[in-house]
Structure formats: structure tokens, C-alpha cells
Amino acid sequence: MAKKPGFVFHYNQFKDKIYNYFWYRVGFDQKLAEDLTSEAWLKAWKNFDDFDDSRPFGPWIFTIARHHLINYYKIAGRETSLTDKEDFFPAAADGIEQRLELERIIKIINSLEAADKEALLLRFVEGLGNAEIAVLLGKEEGAVRTQVSRGLAKLRKLINQ
Amino acid sequence: MDNLEKKLNNLPQAKLRWSADLKIRIKLYTFIIQRRLQVFFGWGLANHHLGRRALALATLVLLIFGSTSWYAYANDSITQGNALYPLKRVVETVKKQTAFTPDAKVKTHEQLSERRLQEAVILSQQAPAEQTTEQRQEIKEHLQKSIDEAVSEISSAAQEVRAVDSKEVKRAAAERLEEKERRRVNYLEEIEKKAEERQDEELKEKIKGAKEAVKKYRELLREQPKREPAEENKKEDGTQEAAEQKTDGLKINNNEQRPERAIRRQSGQELEQKND
């Protein structure tokens, strides 16, 4: 059976978001994030027949990216820290102060529990809604909401210390 | 939304570099094309191990066939009797079939007539001492056939010019006439030399006919445009007959291949006798 039309359309819509997802999770390693993005999209293409057109594409592609990342971690043998690289988002922030502030936030996010960290990144970096995160993580929407609030509270506490 | 949420929302957003984007797109489009081919053939060829081999083999065969045909077409030394000659003719036929405009048709016929003459030159230069009687006979037949076909192509070019009756086509053909005619005559003279060396009267006759066809084609291209129909009606019957005779003259020496031309030629000769 032929692939459904529109895969390239979805690709155009989500390519940067998926790249960003990997970029934040592989210590801002551009090359590695690009490779993982490419592999995830090819995996998505191969499974596009299974995609239910009536459901949103976002959670589906993020699920593929997440599984791909988990596989990568298994092969790499460890989870890459967000702050493994010293210069982790070059030229991304304007001004030294703002940049230092963002680096500090990233470091603190990285120090959070894995579940809180993931919920915060998905919510604020990837810009997904609670319902989409719930689908992606296989949780109830309410549980996600609680997780995000709890993560924010922990983050606020750590920042203000 | 508090200050922390704002800060989190302002975290940097990376964009995929265009080079990486391009690489992914190329891979994706390759898969898309592969899948469409698979659907088109319906055999699952693109994904199946044996299917991939079959596709690769088919591509290889096509490449070899294509390049061999092109080699045969482009090579003047491939003449009748050569194993690649049929391929050369196939490409020529395709070229004829794809000449859509009258000018392109005339050009193709002219080019093919020249090619046949070139082949005839090569055939005539083959040393008879090194050949058996059978080979000599075979080459002789091929040589005569090449000349006949050259004449036939010139006649076809002339027919095309007459059928279209377009000033532009005629002018374009007339512009390239000098160079083409010089080459044709040179080829014919080269063959004639060989025919004289071998005292081959039959071949000499063929060459004479071919020269006549070349001359008639030149006359046709240099002919003045047709007069107005009213003026044309005033012409005497005898003049018309003479004009018919003139056009028929182009078909000499091509009679063996086209019997109907032989009949027309015969009727032309009868007219000639009448006029005399």
C-alpha cells in the first residue's frame, strides 16, 4: 500500500522541534542531534502506515523520537548530561548575563529527577500541551499536570537557594 | 505565568541546519520513490532481496544496451554486415520517428543519406585481396545497398520538401546544401575511384544514379517559388509533363527496393519518348 500523502508536510512542520528535542538531550551536540533526528524521521517514515490519521501527528513523532533516544542511551551506556559540554548553546542567547542565567537554569533542570526534567522540557522547550505529554509518556493528563507543577516548584526552590 | 515559566519559555530553540535537512530529505525522497516503484510494479521488488538484484540487473542490461546502441549509432565505421549494425538502424529509426517538424524530417533524411554514403566509402575501401569470393560478393551487395539507401534518403528529403512546400524549410535546406553536397560528391567520387580500379560497371551505374539524385535535389532547392495558380493554369500541358518527369528523376536507382517507383519511372520514360 502506498504511504499516506503528507509525510513531507509533517516533516516540514516538526523537523526543528524533533531536532531541538534531541539537541537538549544529547548535551547540545549538534552532529549527534542531527544524526538522531535523521534516524528518527526514517523510522517514522517506515512506520507511517501505522499512524492513525485521526490523531495528532506531534505526540506520535515525539514518541518515536523518545524511543529512539532511549535506544541510543542503551547503546551509549549512559544518559548524556545537559551540561556535559562546556559551551552548550553557543550564540543561542543574547548577552553574557542572560546566557549565564540560562546555563544556570539548564544545570538546575539537569539536577532534577528524570521524570520532572522530562516533563519540564517537554512542556516548556518542546512546547507540548499536557494532553500531548500524557500520550507521549503514557500517563494520565492529570498526572502530567501534577508532575509539571511539582517540577516547577522544585526548580523554583533550587533557583532561589 | 510567573517569571520562571517565562524564563523556561525563553530557553533557546535550535533549528536543523539546512545541510542536515537536505540529507534527511534526500533519504526520505529515496524511500518515497522506492515505495512508489514498489507500488507501480506490484511485486515488492524494491524491498525484496532478489527483487533488488533483479532491478539492478535490469538497470545494468538497459545501460549496456543503451550505451552499445549509442556507440553503434555514433560510429561511422559500423557498416552493413557488422553485428552492431541492426542497433545502429534501430536508433536511426527512432530518430526518424521523433523528427516532428518538417525541417527536422528533411535534416534527418539528409543526415542519413550522408551516413549511408560514408558507410559505402568504408565498404569500398576494404581490400579485395584479403577476402574470399563469398566475402567479396557480400561486401559488393552491402555497398550497392548502401548507395541505394543513400539515394532513397535523398529522395525522401526531396519528397518532404515538396510535400511541405514551405519557403522556410526550403531555405534552411538550401543554406546547408553547399556543404552537404560537397561531402556527398566527395564520398561518391571516392567510391567511383574504387569502382574504376575494380572495373565494377554495376557500381559505376549506381554512382551515376546517385550523382544524378544529388543534382536533382540541388535543382529542387534552387527552384524558384511556385507561380500563382492562375498563371499556372496557363502553362502548356507539355511543360507540366516535363515538370512531372523532373520530379520522377530523383527516384532513379531506387527501383529495386520500391517496385511502385519502377512503374512510375517507366511511365516517366514513356512520357520522355512521347516528348521526343
Mean pLDDT confidence for B242-250: 46
Mean pLDDT confidence for A78-97: 54
Q: How far is A119 from chain B (nearest CA, A)?
A: 12
d(CA B99, CA B125): 32
d(CA B246, CA B250): 8
Is A32 in CB contact (< 8 Å) with chain B? no
What contacts 24+ positions apart, CB below 8 Å, involve A99-104?
A101/B7, A102/B7, A102/B10, A102/B11, A102/B12, A104/A159
Searching chain A, which residue's CA lies closest to the CA of residue B17?
A34
Complex ipTM: 0.80
pLDDT, greater one: B165 or B152: B152
Question: How does DSSP classify residue B17?
Answer: -
The answer to pTM > 0.80 is: no
Summarize pLDDT for A53-66 with one digit per residue, the tens.
888 888 899 999 99
Which chain A positions have a beta carbon within 8 Å of B36's beta carbon? 2
Q: Answer yes or no: do B14 and A92 touch at CB < 8 A.
A: yes
Summarize pLDDT for A101-140 with one digit per residue, the tens.
778 888 888 888 888 988 999 998 888 989 989 988 888 9
Q: How far is B10 from chain A (nearest CA, A)?
A: 8
d(CA A156, CA A145): 16
Is B1 in CB contact (< 8 Å) with chain A? no
The confidence score (pLDDT) of residue B253 equals 45
Which residues numbered 14-43 in B keep a CB inside 8 Å of some CB on A?
14-17, 20-21, 23-25, 27-28, 31-32, 35-36, 39
What contacts 24+ positions apart, CB below 8 Å, involve B261-268?
B268/B244
d(CA B135, CA B128): 9
pLDDT at B243 over 50: no
Please state, as a whole number, how many other Cβ atoms lie within 10 Å of the Cβ of residue A160: 7
The Cβ-side half-sphere exposure at B154, using a 13 Å CA radius, reads 37
Query: Average pLDDT of chain B?
Result: 77
The confidence score (pLDDT) of residue B246 equals 44
Q: How far is B32 from chain A (nearest CA, A)?
A: 8
Summarize pLDDT for A1-10 with one digit per residue, the tens.
444 558 888 9
Is A72 in CB contact (< 8 Å) with chain B? no
